[in-house]
Amino acid sequence: MEIHNTEIVDTFAEAFKMWGARVIVTAHSPKWVRAAAQAMTGFATSVIGCKCEAGVERELTPAETPDGRPGVSILLFAMDAEGIGKRLVERIGQSVMTCPTTACFNGQEGEKSVVVGGQLRYFGDGYQISKRLDGRRFWRIPVMDGEFLVDHQFEVCPAVGGGNLLILGTDLPSALNAAEKAVEAIDGIPGVILPFPDGVVRSGSKPGSKYKSLFASTNDAYCPTLRGIAPETNVPAEAGCVLEIVIDGLNLEAVENAMRQGIKTAAGCDGVIRISAGNYGGGLGQFMIGLHDLVRE
């Protein structure tokens, strides 16, 4: 199968089950919303080393937020609900509560709930106040610029992590341009994030390593410099660069939609030879997202 002379490999992206939370952060101005979002989603590219994956879903207008201020929707993913609870307490406590003028709200209904504000309240040292509004419980925690308002608990739901695309280009500029345009096409799709830096991954990984202490190591089959050395290569002779886009979503449909948009956009870019996806024969994840099926749909 080809799109604009770009080969779409007959393969699948191997995604896996995760749990996801949606966090709404608001502040006095867009500047401080961005500051809080940047801090909260920092060092959250992969569960391999960061314990969670997080990113900005989209910016919110004052009409879309609980307190009528500028805001942002952040998605955070971990391997289980308990892990999400721990990461939310850490990241909201250290990155949102510390940021001037912010407030923090649960942004979805889910299958389970985790206590967040109910733990952060102890920072108030006994001066914190509980407040109920429309059936929800909030905590007002005194801070030096006034009060930090936060939901008592956040809802979490089953989610999908590890949707991915591999873009094989003739050289670095071609692959990078295609990856950037694919990220732009995916940006703003409801229910998904791209957790890596500006959505693009250079150091794609495979499970395991020759070193027993490592859970993952470089995906040598897609490293151009190892084309004549690695036991197996998926990099054709005319390709000089491979870049990956990783997608996490609150449901499978959202991940598939993002992958579809990414494929169609990247395939129209100059110098893109092939679009593929990372999988390990179905032994790693529970979802096998076929690229040809996506394009046909």
State the CATH architecture for 18-157.
Answer: 2-Layer Sandwich (3.30)
pLDDT at 280 over 90: no
Domain with CATH 3.30.70.520 in the chain: 2-15+159-296, 18-157
pLDDT tens per residue, range 51-110: 999 999 999 999 999 999 999 999 999 999 999 999 999 999 999 999 999 999 999 999
pLDDT at 269 over 90: yes
Confidence of residue 295 (pLDDT cuts 50, 70, 90): very high
Distance, in Å, from the CA atom of 11 to the CA atom of 279, rounded to the nearest integer, reads: 8
Distance, in Å, from the CA atom of 51 to the CA atom of 149, rounded to the nearest integer, reads: 26
At 283 the pLDDT is 82
Alpha helices by DSSP H, 68-201: 81-91, 117-120, 172-186
Structure tokens at 50: 């960061």
Single pTM value for the model: 0.95
pLDDT at 113 over 90: yes
DSSP 105: E
pLDDT at 194 over 90: yes
Alpha helices by DSSP H, the chain: 30-40, 47-50, 81-91, 117-120, 172-186, 252-266, 291-296
The total of other beta-carbon atoms located within 10 Å of residue 192's CB is: 26
At 103 the pLDDT is 98
pLDDT tens per residue, range 126-139: 999 999 998 899 99
pLDDT at 251 over 90: yes
Region 274-285 average pLDDT: 90
Mean pLDDT of the chain: 96
pLDDT at 268 over 90: no
At 193 the pLDDT is 98
At 284 the pLDDT is 82
Distance, in Å, from the CA atom of 20 to the CA atom of 156, rounded to the nearest integer, reads: 5
Region 142-168 average pLDDT: 98
pLDDT at 297 over 90: no
Distance, in Å, from the CA atom of 258 to the CA atom of 185, rounded to the nearest integer, reads: 8
Alpha helices by DSSP H, 187-269: 252-266
At 281 the pLDDT is 85
Q: Looking at the domain 2-15+159-296, which fold is it?
A: Alpha-Beta Plaits (3.30.70)
pLDDT tens per residue, range 206-228: 999 999 999 899 999 999 999 98
Instruction: Please state, for a pLDDT cut of 90, what percent of the chain lies above it.
Output: 95
pLDDT at 240 over 90: yes
Region 185-214 average pLDDT: 95
At 35 the pLDDT is 98
DSSP 237: T
Region 184-193 average pLDDT: 96
